[in-house]
Structure 1
Amino acid sequence: MTNLDVVTFGEPMVMFYANHPEPLHAANSFSRALAGAEANVACGISRLDLQVSYITKLGNDSFGKFIIEALNRENVHTNGILFSNSHSTGMLMKSKVLQGDPEVEYFRKNSAASTLSMNDFSKADFTKARHLHATGIPSALSNDCHHFTQNVMNHMKTHGKSVSFDPNLRPSLWKDKKTMVDTVNKLAYLSDQFLPGLSEAQTLTGLTNPKDIADYYLAKGIKTIVIKLGPEGAYYKTGQEEGFVPGYKPNQVIDTVGAGDGFAVGFISSYLEGKSISEAVKRGNAIGALQVMSPGDMDGMPNRKTLEEFMQQQQLENIADLPTRLSQEI
């Protein structure tokens, strides 16, 4: 396996999501799907015809088999996935809502993925790729996973690979806020492209203004900061430029989970294609909007054709709305 575009690692899980809008404890009918932030990104990258590998450890159980088959259907390389006979594969349950965020309950403590350690590290699994995407989630699972994350990020940087990092803060997985902030920030400093949401960045820095937040991380040596602002769009800054890219308007918001992962897919794929930062942010915004229009965590991840059609349609709608907007501004 050579010429990989992206490699990522983390904990994929089996997700059972309710088919009807009601409290999670009252739900009786569920559908099953693959879930996990890094898995979402891997599948999204693959759907855009880039070569991506996913590294993890699964239980030698039916859930693990389901995940492998799901990743293979998405054409994600799974050669680096290990199996454990002593730990099971994690799972989660999610409610269905008509607006706002769904209820989510995780069953992942002591999962196989949480035992991923330096004993499982294979340089070849990572060095074959030209880009690493990492998140803050694995470091919250165990000390072994944290050391694995640190080592992988340092390894890729040492070998001249680019590294993107999404904090993906999960406060419930950390023992306290200070540990979370300190650990995630130190990982962020190892990245080339840092992709936090605004509320996450505010939690990590204590600052409120996107420009101040970007300056804070630029001073730590990160090359590009992109701060996601939800439906409004995203702000970016590098050592040479800064800007704001407005968001795309979803036709209907069905489920907000996975929007940030969709943004990462758009940004990373554009970056690897040599597009400008603003173009990369624009594609990230578009895929984030597509994600919230779908019920599953990765159902909205588009192929090239769907993505281009959505972006073109939005552009046409914006042009059509221009006279109305101008008359309102006069």
Structure 2
Amino acid sequence: MNKEMDVITIGRSSIDLYSQQVGADFVDIKGFDAFVGGSPLNIATGCARLGLKCSLFTGVGEDKVGDFILNFLQNESIDTTHVARIPGARSSAVVLGIQPPDRFPLVYYRDNCADIQITLDHASQINFNAYKLVEISATALSKEPSRSTVFYAVEKANQVAVPVVLDIDFRADQWQDVRSFGLTVRSLLSKVKIAIGTEEEILAAMLKDQSQITIEHQQISAPKITGDIEEAIDLILKTGVEILLVKRGSQGVTVYTAGGEVFNVPGFPVDPLNVLGAGDAFASGFIYGYLQGWSLYKACRMGNASGAQVVLQSGCANFMPTLEESLSFIGSQGGFQVPVES
């Protein structure tokens, strides 16, 4: 069947306020730049700039922040048919500091947020058969009614054989009990073809106790989690996931397949300014390559290139690279093949 669209992403959307004072302690920030954010929105933007036809399924408030988000999406040619305006709710917001090389504190404002209030009725209006791929982010599973809506969307995608990509996307402060994050994610994994996560997110999916988590300097997106990473990877693959991509920062990505194949895809050496959103950039580059029918290695190399370009910038979605920019960057950095050791 000839698909009308390439990908629909499901979950968070927000206005993101990034510190204008790079390197300043959070208490010394004097001003912020307003961008858009939320993992699914970031991924949709990255995919659209690479040339894919994208939709976003999320919720925004009937407010000026909702207008801000919708205006950005429309300017990026992202289909907003399934961006619901939620009466009485607020578009969510995130405030972020930038203290390279290793401190990126952030604060979420998600009380009564619109994106968590997408419903089964909203999802029932989506023709999943029109898409080649569905991407979901796990923070959308943190509360109802969004949790049930995501499960319903995945079920509908499965019924028409549309592959589902899960970004494990662990944000500890969005869960009333962090152990429920793992319980919820594990119950969904059997319906997912491809899962993507950092080592910490992989461990979070198998979390047994709150004491395994340490969050320093309010780096909600980069907690330290103890556990056996190889055991966690094995358990995820046993759920039925066909492909697991483990993001390892500057080292690139390790690919695990249900057939037992394991290989590393190296990253691109850059000096990062801001790592927030790098994983979303990776996902967009990978999805582009995957939908082109590329090998997993080449698709991950594309993802690594997107991530490497975005970490050089002070925001995420607003700085996603175009296809021309990514191919030029990859060509200047050794191409798609394994870099030659000097």
Where does residue 244 of structure 1 map in the other structure?
264
How far is the alpha carbon of 1:321 from its aligned partner?
7.4
Output aligned runs, 1:74-153, within 5 Å: 74-140=76-142, 142-153=143-154
Name 2:51's counterpart in structure 1: 49
Conserved? CA contact 2:181–2:204, under 8 Å: no
CA shift, 1:319, in A, is 10
Distance 1:178 1:69, change over 3 A: same
Query: What is residue 274 of structure 1 aligned with on the other side?
Result: 293
Deviation at 1:297, TM superposition (A): 1.9
Query: 1:53-76 CA distances to partner (integer Å, 9 max, x unpaired)?
Result: 001121111100010000111111
CA shift at 1:177, angstroms?
2.1
Amino acid at match of 1:208: D
Per the alignment, residue 40 of structure 1 pairs with 42
* The 10-residue stretch of structure 1 (33-42 or 213-222) with the greater mean CA deviation from structure 2: 213-222
Measure how far apart 1:291 and its partner are. 1.7
Equivalent position of 2:167 in the other structure: 166
2:276 to 257, 262, 265: 257
CA change 1:281–1:90 in 2 (3 A) is same
CA offset digits 1:98-156 (Å, max 9, x no partner): 3213221111111122211213223434332110001101111x221100011111110
> Within 2, Cα distance between the matches of 1:216 and 1:98?
34
Q: Say if 1:41 and 1:264, in contact at 8 Å, map to a contact too.
A: yes
What is the SS of the residue equivalent to 1:205? coil
Shift of 1:218: 2.3
Residue 287 of structure 1 contacts residue 300 of structure 1 at CA under 8 Å; is this kept in 2? no
Return the TM-score normalized by structure 2.
Answer: 0.88
Q: 1:196 is matched with which residue?
A: 197
Contact 1:13 1:92 in 2 (8 A): yes
Cα offset, 1:209, TM superposition = 4.2
Helix, strand or coil for the counterpart of 2:298? helix
CA distance in structure 1 between the partners assigned to 2:176 and 2:123 by the alignment: 26
Gaps of 5+ in 2: 208-226
In 2, Cα distance between equivalents of 1:54 and 1:196: 21
Give the conservation status (yes or no) of the 8 Å contact 1:167–1:188. Answer: no
Query: RMSD over aligned Cα, in angstroms?
Result: 2.0
- The one-letter code sitting in structure 1 at the alignment partner of 2:101 is Q
2:228 alignment partner AA: T
CA contact (8 A) 2:8 2:56 kept: yes
Q: Give the structure with higher Rg (CA).
A: 1
- SS class of match (2:294): coil
Asked if the contact 1:94/1:104 (under 8 Å) is kept, the reply is: yes
Amino acid at match of 1:168: D
Structure 1 alignment gaps of length 5 or more: 326-330
DSSP-derived class of the 1:275 partner: coil
Q: Which residue of 2 aligns with 1:328?
A: none
Partner of 2:217: none
SS of residue matched to 1:305: helix
When residues 321 and 191 of structure 1 are mapped into structure 2, their CA distance, relative to the original with a 3 A threshold, is closer
1:101, 1:257 within 8 Å by CA — same for their partners in 2?
no
CA distance in 2, matches of 1:265, 1:245: 16
Kept in 2, the 8 Å contact 1:6–1:133? The answer is: yes
Structure 2 counterpart SS, 1:93: strand
Shift of 1:298: 2.3
Q: Secondary structure at the match of 2:317?
A: coil
The letter for the 1-side match of 2:20 is N
Which protein is richer in helix relative to its size? 1
Where do 1:266-305 residues align within 5 Å?
A: 266-305=285-324
Distance 1:80 1:320 in 2: 42
Identity %: 23
Aligned residues: 318
